[in-house]
């Protein structure tokens, strides 16, 4: 009888360990369907997380496709630093940028003056810059017309007389070399109530009066929609922001026709055209036109890019606009990949650490303290820190096979956030085993390893699975932040919805994420009934 009981416990333990080590990994093949397969050589175009950048990247992508080359657009990858680092590392081949951003942000400490100085600095990094695309999208400060008239504010220096005004600037503007700190010093502005927020949300703040002034891009269609007054930069603080394309110098060798096609945009996009395209992609009212269609229409209507054959027209937009189910399938796969890989790694590390923490009290206190500190770090700060750390090491072959630019930083961050609940529950489950059970196992003459495998782990299995379940549910929600660094997932839909002020698009990302969390929780409930010994399961109240 004892022999049969031991065999049964052994089987339960093996099944538990199999779940711990393998079950999350199975999701990788579902969630990462096709994402890790070797990709052919192609031109990868990146864009920042605002509408105009997405449109310019779509123009470049579609022109490259006309040459017969494969072009992939990775939209909304983040801010300047994310795109610039990705370009230097070869994760992307080209992205739209602005001369003012290059001189004031990328080469902030070099004091570059003029396009030629910028070209030389870029060439040293293996990057080439196109000529200006045709418009200047400089920074500006905007205030509601009614408030500006009431306070008689026409230029930036007039703000000195109104220290009570509340400013709300985009997060990037808060830290830029030509942003708020230098603007405040240049104009000696006295305002103290200054906050950072998403650029797309600042217009809502102006409309409802929660802020009085924000930074604008001079080609934003919202300037007209919200009836804003652009303040005169009377001290000439902001440099000119000519739109250009930055691309890797080796692109001409790898895909010469594609590199030549990109240069067709030089001087071909006047300011009125980009404002119109921005307005179509982000309308105040009416139906929104996808950026891919906006770009295709511009290329079709512009005589310089006139298409003369059906084959060329198909090359401009080969797959048409992405539908709801296509988007859902793609982002679900990306989201599951992030959760599955990070959770698998966390389980394999956390369970042994939890065992150590339970067996050695002092070491356990240190382990729980470190993982507790990690758990309190803001997710965005952790992502940026990990990206900066990864950029200090040489490129790794496996990194370039990951499905998106920020996949590795996102997986690492999610892995770190998963450690605490699994370690703590493993430790607590082992420590809560009654002393009488421990003494009985010792009395049977079982060695420590056998006691752990045959007695302690099966008795702690419910607690361990609860920790894994908690980590999985947390991961599903936190993984949405991976879109901030280009990792994709449901967060991409949420960020796009915020950028376009589209509640429906936000819900397309938020609702599936919530449903996925509930599904994972349900799967773990089923797993608990299968893997936890029957005598240790919670019984429903009668």
173 and 126 belong to one structural domain: no
Strands laid side by side in the 243-248 sheet: 71-74, 43-46, 94-98, 243-248, 127-129
Q: Mean pLDDT over residues 266-285, rounded?
A: 88
158 and 294 belong to one structural domain: no
525 and 415 belong to one structural domain: yes
d(CA 215, CA 194): 12
- The number of domains in the chain is 3
DSSP 141: E
Read off the pLDDT band of 334 (50, 70, 90): confident
224 and 275 belong to one structural domain: no
The answer to whether residue 157 sits within a structural domain is yes
Q: And the tokens for 211?
A: 């802020």
348 and 451 belong to one structural domain: yes
Give the dihedral of Cα atoms 74, 75, 80, 85; nearest 10 deg.
Answer: -10
Q: Mean pLDDT over residues 508-521, rounded?
A: 88
Domain end (from 230, 251, 275): 230
- With the C-alpha atoms ordered 393, 398, 401, 402, is the resulting torsion angle positive or negative? negative
The answer to whether residue 163 sits within a structural domain is yes
DSSP 418: H
Indicate the pTM of the whole model.
0.70
- The pLDDT tens digits of the residues spanning 51-91 come to 899 999 999 999 999 888 889 898 888 788 888 988 988 88
Phi first, then psi, for residue 374 (nearest 5°) are -60, -40
169 and 110 belong to one structural domain: no
CB 73 within 8 A of CB 53: no
Q: Which residues sit opposite 244 in a β-bridge?
A: 97
457 and 493 belong to one structural domain: yes
The answer to whether residue 9 sits within a structural domain is no
352 and 423 belong to one structural domain: yes
d(CA 406, CA 82): 9
Q: Which residues sit opposite 170 in a β-bridge?
A: 197
Domain residue limits at 209: 139-230
127 and 145 belong to one structural domain: no
**Above 60 in pLDDT, residue 532?**
yes
Domain harbouring 263, CATH code: 3.40.190.10
226 and 370 belong to one structural domain: no
Q: And the tokens for 144?
A: 């509601």
d(CA 152, CA 145): 10
The answer to whether residue 542 sits within a structural domain is no
Tell me if residue 71 falls in helix, strand or coil: strand
- The pLDDT tens digits of the residues spanning 130-151 come to 999 999 988 899 999 999 999 9
Domain end (from 230, 256, 278): 230
Domain end (from 173, 207, 230): 230
Q: Note the maximum CA span of the chain.
A: 93
Domain harbouring 385, CATH code: 1.10.3720.10
Q: And the tokens for 157?
A: 């220096």
Tell me if residue 443 falls in helix, strand or coil: helix
124 and 149 belong to one structural domain: no
In 3D space, the residue among 462, 470, 453, 473 whose CA is nearest the CA of residue 516 turns out to be 473
pLDDT at 326: 81
497 and 474 belong to one structural domain: yes
In 3D space, the residue among 243, 106, 266, 258 whose CA is nearest the CA of residue 177 turns out to be 106
Domain harbouring 184, CATH code: 3.40.190.120
């Amino acid at each position: 009888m004892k022999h049969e009981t031991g065999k049964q416990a052994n089987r339960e333990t093996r099944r538990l360990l199999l779940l711990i080590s393998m079950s999350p990994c199975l999701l990788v093949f579902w969630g990462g369907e096709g994402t890790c397969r070797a990709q052919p050589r192609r031109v990868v175009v990146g864009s920042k997380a605002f509408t105009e950048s997405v449109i310019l990247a779509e123009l470049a992508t579609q022109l490259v496709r006309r040459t017969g080359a494969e072009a992939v657009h990775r939209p909304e990858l983040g801010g300047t630093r994310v795109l610039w680092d990705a370009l230097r590392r070869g994760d992307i081949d080209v992205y739209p940028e602005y001369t003012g951003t290059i001189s004031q942000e990328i080469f902030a400490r070099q004091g570059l003056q003029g396009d030629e100085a910028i070209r030389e600095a870029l060439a040293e990094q293996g990057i080439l810059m196109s000529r200006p695309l045709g418009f200047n999208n400089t920074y500006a400060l905007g205030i509601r017309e009614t408030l500006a008239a009431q306070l008689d504010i026409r230029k930036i220096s007039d703000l000195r007389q109104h220290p009570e005004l509340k400013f709300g600037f985009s997060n990037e503007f808060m830290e830029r070399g030509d942003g708020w700190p230098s603007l405040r010093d240049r104009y000696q502005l006295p305002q103290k109530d200054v906050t950072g927020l998403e650029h797309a949300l600042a217009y809502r703040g102006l409309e409802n009066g929660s802020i009085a002034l924000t930074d604008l891009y001079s080609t934003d269609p919202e300037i007209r929609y919200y009836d804003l007054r652009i303040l005169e930069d009377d001290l000439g603080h902001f440099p000119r922001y000519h739109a250009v394309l930055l691309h890797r110098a080796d692109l001409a060798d790898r895909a010469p026709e594609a590199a030549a096609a990109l240069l067709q945009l030089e001087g071909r996009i006047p300011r009125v055209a980009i404002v119109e395209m921005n307005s179509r992609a982000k309308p105040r009212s009416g139906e929104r036109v996808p950026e891919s269609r906006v770009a295709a229409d511009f290329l079709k209507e512009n005589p310089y890019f006139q298409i003369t054959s059906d084959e060329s027209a198909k090359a401009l937009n080969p797959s048409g606009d992405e539908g709801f189910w296509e988007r859902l399938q793609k982002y679900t796969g990306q989201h599951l990949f992030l959760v599955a890989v990070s959770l698998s790694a966390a389980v394999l590390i956390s369970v042994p650490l939890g065992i150590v923490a339970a067996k050695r009290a002092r070491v356990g206190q240190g382990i729980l303290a470190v993982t507790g500190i990690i758990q309190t770090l803001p997710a965005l700060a952790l992502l940026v820190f990990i990206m900066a750390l990864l950029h200090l090491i040489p490129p790794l072959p496996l990194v370039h096979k990951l499905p998106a630019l920020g996949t590795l930083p996102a997986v690492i961050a999610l892995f770190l956030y998963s450690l605490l609940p699994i370690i703590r529950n493993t430790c607590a489950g082992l420590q809560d085993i009654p002393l009488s059970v421990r003494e009985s196992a010792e009395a049977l003459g079982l060695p420590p390893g056998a006691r752990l495998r045959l007695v302690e782990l099966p008795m702690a299995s419910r607690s361990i699975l609860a920790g894994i379940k908690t980590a999985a549910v947390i991961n599903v929600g936190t993984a949405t932040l991976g879109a901030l660094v280009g990792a994709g997932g449901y967060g991409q839909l949420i960020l796009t919805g915020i950028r376009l002020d589209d509640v429906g698009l936000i819900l397309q990302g938020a609702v599936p994420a919530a449903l996925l969390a509930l599904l994972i929780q349900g799967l773990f409930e089923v797993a608990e009934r299968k893997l936890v010994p029957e005598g240790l399961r919670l019984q429903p109240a009668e």
